[in-house]
Amino acid sequence: MKLSMWTYEGPPHVGAMRIAASMKGVHYVLHAPQGDTYADLLFTMIERRASRPPVTYTTFQARDLSGSTADIFKAACRDAVARFEPEALLVGASCTAELLQDDPGGLARTLDVNVPVVPLELPSYQKKENWGASETFYRLVRAFAGSATRPAEIPANSCNILGPTSLGFRCRDDVTEIVRLLTEEGLDVRVVAPLGASPADLARLPDAAFNIVLYPELADVTARWLKKTYGMPYVSTVPIGIGATQDFLAEVRALAGLAPREAGQDQASGRDRLTWYARSVDSNYLTNKRVFIFGDATHAIAAARIASEELGFRVCGLGTYMREFAREIREAAQAYGIEALVSDDHLDVEAAIIAARPELVLGTQMERHIAKRLRVPCAVISAPVHVQDFPARYSPQMGFEGANVIFDSWVHPLMMGLEEHLLQMFRDDFEFNDGAAASHLYPHAAEIIEDAPALAAETLVWTSDAEKELKKVPFFVRGKARRNTELFAASKGIRPITVETLYDAKAHFAR
Amino acid sequence: MNQPLPTSCATPPAATAATIRQRGQHEVFCGLTSIIWLHRKVQDAFFLVVGSRTCAHLMQSAAGVMIFSEPRFATAIMEERDLAGMADMHDELDQVVARLLERRPDIRMLVLVGSCPSEVIKLDLNRAAGRLNAHYAPRHRVIAYSGSGIETTFTQGEDNFLAALVQDQATRPAKSGAARLVVAGCLADVVEDQFSRLFSAFGLSDVVFLPGRHATDGLTIDSNTRYVLAQPYLGATAAALESRGATRIDAIFPLGTEGTTAWLWAIASAFGIDRARFDGIVDQPRRRAEQAISHYRPWIDGKRVFLFPDSQMEPSLARYLHQELGAEIVEIGSPYLHREHVAGELALLPPGVAISEGQDVDIQIDRCRQANPDLIVCGLGLANPFEAEGRITKWSIEFAFTPIQGYEQAGDLAELFARPLMRNSILTGRNREAAQ
Ligand code: SF4
Ligand code: SF4
């Protein structure tokens, strides 16, 4: 048993629902107890979907357990097919139904419904939402593209986009952005799946020359299968950030047999504002700001690259809740000289954030709340997210416009440059002081959480003058200053810490 | 599926048409959801769900934004090795509880909440609670109840919790005198305070609200105790109170001016207060309530309302809508009908109102579209899809999360129903037309 206050991911059947809800013509019969229909409101509320998700739940109750829950399941399948007339029926169990061992797959085969049935085996006590989505997508593609024959003549510039789903972070606009970029590069985008695709579309996947995986956690498995089965190569560079988008376009052009673009001729010019914005002198003060990054593996790795190479931040923490991508995140973290955090326990994440003392947190909805408690600025870069991160306006993360969106949303929570300077110069202003948040943001009433000493109290003593001097360090770097000074003092055997020690340490580490 | 179940047990009151009973997909929350308000109300309790990742995800999705401010609930998620029998579930649970109590030493009462998975594998949480109690009491008390979807719908989770609280009190040293009146059903703090003031004005002392703000507050019940339900979903709680000798004061529920007056009068008269004195006390708040309601009545008057099942509050809401706001009720859906407790409400409705117990959601949606009501009261899974069809909805979960009982809230309750209609009027520009 594992104590959990929040979960970064739902159970695997929610992943399966996301695939069903993404597609057209697919209906999902889920063997589940009464109450599991709560999942509908993820779609109808958080994503503000205008129709009910295509899911029929058996919603069995305790009194049904003495009878045949298998019959209830079969009846639900027949009713769903009759009412919704889908092109394909997904069948599966939720965690409770898994315990009943009714075997939805086996039962569905005995039904004489006139549509292809795709049974799902999603081990709920082992796997989670993203795995469930990936597995479901893979099963559907195998079912509908499995017996396709690859055409003899395939235009080299034809490709599919794999991975975007309902309830995915900014998938709606990422697809628009990337399809537009690819089309302008001269590519012929055939099928986008699962978002918006039908089972018939899945059958056409092998008709394209290659695949583009935009969200590896959702579509890597499928892309690998298509490669093995049909020899379709795939691109899995995720175009989040300017550098990544350029690499992505170069790779795609190479696969499509198009000549490489000459420098300066690409689509970036005129579209990419991030590069100039980050270059402009107003962004100078962003240099080496410490940023802690956590999220799904794809978004976290992409964010780290943007933060360090494109915005000039320093990555002081990098992690993901997806164990499946532990290797990738470790590799990425190594490049920044830090240890990756792979954990789905938010208490671990909170501890890591406190230890890293960042000036900016880029994370999920959960980190937003941790950061709020610690009074550190924060921006959301990854699911899980709440309703405000399904915005009405165009807000991709991918491509050039995505990079523009990212520049704005990551810099926004930070205190603006002049404000930051004035705070350092005049510390005793009665209105505008440490306690005040950046003036373009909401006023915080929250208390500053005083940084606990990094080392055991008995080994360190601060003189009261040194404590006072420390308070003059602006609050967003004060924790770091305290910690550095203590480390410095400990390493030199200095006790107590004086004002001199504070400045010695400052000189020693330099920001 | 879909064939009506035999209308066996209770005979419906003469005033209403035969109950529609259907077995199909139930679009409802499970009882775990009630933790979301209970953990705010009962300030020294922590609710530990013993369940699966689904249960944790439900709590998180339903609690929305709030969950992140270190809530007083969590889930002990069962894992593969628990099920494979590699780990003794009781040992595992003990460890989780130890970790939790270490993190939150301020918790006075730990509530183990059963879920579908824990019930299907027959994990005996009552036994676990007994064992943990022996270990942690008196510093922390441990009780258990079920909030599983297979056994409970939405507010029934609160019912089971309150019943467990009553049973727990029975095992503890009694306070000196028994409570004269127990008001059962979670009420917003502000509502509780308003009722308290009225009870004192009636001269009633020793009134206990169940749940109170502290789960560990004493509660002594004996045959001198009268109890009144403030919420209609408390079948198990009523039975638990009665098994301890308490007797029920029968009343409709305190929604709206009429509901509140009838409810308070049932209490006052049970304690021998005469009508003149009662009227003197409630006269002013009552007039305030009437006045507040009158602002919204024009929006609802004559409107046809369809209620989907959600909280068991539907018969009371329908009564209020009809009696005090002039609505016409098309169908009252309720996940479960405790006929005895809502008999008074149903009797105040006009003959022929359709009542449905249980649900087949697709068929109910068909019926609703067919009836084409002016306002649909339904859950969040249905509301936006209905809105997208151009229908007007009021999402029902809000009735469990908003102070709606009593005189001072009578207008707020009307506003909850009127708001979507007002909004529709604003957004479709009818206000603009009217102004010209
Ligand atoms: S208690 Fe049952 S219905 Fe509720 S979330 Fe858990 S599994 Fe689902
Ligand atoms: S905003 Fe979030 S928490 Fe609130 S009702 Fe909508 S989905 Fe639920």
Q: Quick one: pLDDT at residue A446?
A: 40
The per-residue pLDDT for range B93-150, each reduced to its tens digit, is 999 999 999 988 999 999 999 999 999 999 999 999 999 999 998 899 999 999 999 9
Per-residue pLDDT for A94 more than 60?
yes
User: Is A40 known to be catalytic?
Assistant: no
The Cα–Cα gap between B160 and B170 comes to: 16
Token code pair at residue A277: 């914005």
Per-residue pLDDT for B171 more than 80?
no
Token code pair at residue A413: 């929570």
The residues near A393 (Cβ < 8 Å, ≥ 6 apart) are none
The Cα–Cα gap between B26 and B9 comes to: 21
The per-residue pLDDT for range A15-48, each reduced to its tens digit, is 999 999 999 999 999 999 999 999 999 999 999 9
Per-residue pLDDT for A459 more than 70?
no
The residues near B214 (Cβ < 8 Å, ≥ 6 apart) are B42, B43, B44, B108
Strands A88-93 and A117-119: parallel
Q: Is the dihedral of CA A303, A309, A314, A318 positive or negative?
A: positive
Per-residue pLDDT for B310 more than 90?
yes
| Confidence at A432, pLDDT banded by 50, 70, 90 | low
Token code pair at residue A10: 């739902």
The Cα–Cα gap between A415 and A477 comes to: 12
* Residue A64 φ then ψ, to 5°: -75, -20
Residue of A83 and B217 predicted with greater confidence: A83
Q: What is the mean pLDDT of residues A257-282?
A: 87
Pick from A318, A349, A132, A390: nearest CA to B57: A132
Pick from A59, A97, A88: nearest CA to A75: A59
Q: Pick the catalytic residue from A282, A389, A434, A504.
A: A282
Q: Quick one: pLDDT at residue A66?
A: 84
Flag if B150 and A60 touch (Cβ within 8 Å): yes
Per-residue pLDDT for B255 more than 90?
yes
User: In whole angstroms, what separates CA B283 from the centre of its chain?
Assistant: 28
Q: Which residues pair with A484 in a beta bridge?
A: none
Q: What is the mean pLDDT of residues B48-71?
A: 83
Q: What is the mean pLDDT of residues A278-283?
A: 92
Q: Quick one: pLDDT at residue A442?
A: 53
Q: Quick one: pLDDT at residue A430?
A: 58
Q: Longest C-alpha distance within chain B, in Å?
A: 75
Residues A382, A410: contact at Cβ < 8 Å? no
Give the CB-side neighbour count of residue A366, counting CA atoms within 13 A: 26
Indicate which atom in ligand 1 lies nearest the CA of residue B59: 5
Please name the residue of chain A whose CA is at the shortest distance from the CA of residue B58: A38
Q: Quick one: pLDDT at residue B13?
A: 46
The residues near A267 (Cβ < 8 Å, ≥ 6 apart) are A181, A184, A185, A249, A400
Per-residue pLDDT for A437 more than 90?
no
Per-residue pLDDT for B329 more than 80?
yes
Q: What is the mean pLDDT of residues A177-183?
A: 97
**From A25-34, B65-74, B205-214, the region with the lowest mean pLDDT:** B65-74
- The SS3 of residue A286 is helix
Per-residue pLDDT for B76 more than 50?
yes
**From A450-459, B279-288, B326-335, the region with the lowest mean pLDDT:** A450-459
* Residue B152 φ then ψ, to 5°: -135, 150
- Burial letters B86-116, b for 16+ CB under 10 A, else e: ebebeebbbebbeebbeeeeebbbbbbbbbb
The Cα–Cα gap between B193 and B384 comes to: 36
Flag if B117 and A96 touch (Cβ within 8 Å): yes
CA distances from B413 to A80, B158, B293, B347, B436 (A): 37, 21, 8, 21, 31
In chain A, what percentage of residues exceed pLDDT 90? 67
- Is the ipTM higher than 0.85? The answer is yes
The Cα–Cα gap between B168 and B111 comes to: 11
**From A170-174, B69-73, B225-229, the region with the lowest mean pLDDT:** B69-73
Per-residue pLDDT for B14 more than 70?
no
Q: Quick one: pLDDT at residue B432?
A: 57
The Cα–Cα gap between A456 and A232 comes to: 58
Q: Which of A34, A94, A126 sits opposite B54 (nearest CB)?
A: A94
Residues A169, A386: contact at Cβ < 8 Å? no
For helices A399-411 and A171-184, give the axis angle rounded to 10 degrees.
140
Q: What is the mean pLDDT of residues B26-32?
A: 95
Residues of chain A in contact with residue B31, where contact means CB-CB under 8 angstroms, are 35
Q: Which of B30, B50, B382 sits opposite A34 (nearest CB)?
A: B30
Q: What is the mean pLDDT of residues B219-226?
A: 90
Q: Among all chains, which residue has been given the structure tokens 């970036």?
A: A268
Q: Quick one: pLDDT at residue A420?
A: 67
* Residue B292 φ then ψ, to 5°: -65, -40
Token code pair at residue B162: 């309150």
Instruction: State whether the beta carbon of A387 lies less than 6 angstroms from ligand 2.
Output: yes
The Cα–Cα gap between B327 and B329 comes to: 6
Please name the residue of chain A whose CA is at the shortest distance from the CA of residue B83: A125
User: Helix and strand tally (H, E) in chain A?
Assistant: 21, 14
Indicate which atom in ligand 1 lies nearest the CA of residue B51: 6
Q: Quick one: pLDDT at residue A113?
A: 85
At A50, which amino acid appears?
Answer: A
Q: Which of B69, B76, B387 sits opposite A3 (nearest CB)?
A: B76
Residues of chain B in contact with residue A13, where contact means CB-CB under 8 angstroms, are 54
Give the CB-side neighbour count of residue A359, counting CA atoms within 13 A: 23
Mutate to test the interface with A, among B53, B88, B154, B395 (most CBs of A within 10 A): B53
Distance in Å from the first CA to the final CA of chain A: 44
The Cα–Cα gap between A233 and A188 comes to: 16
Average pLDDT of chain A, as a whole number: 90
Per-residue pLDDT for A423 more than 70?
no
Residues A122, A95: contact at Cβ < 8 Å? no
* Residue B328 φ then ψ, to 5°: -100, 130
Residues A479, A485: contact at Cβ < 8 Å? no
Element (H, E) at A145: helix A129-145
CA distances from B399 to B37, B162, B409 (A): 12, 19, 12
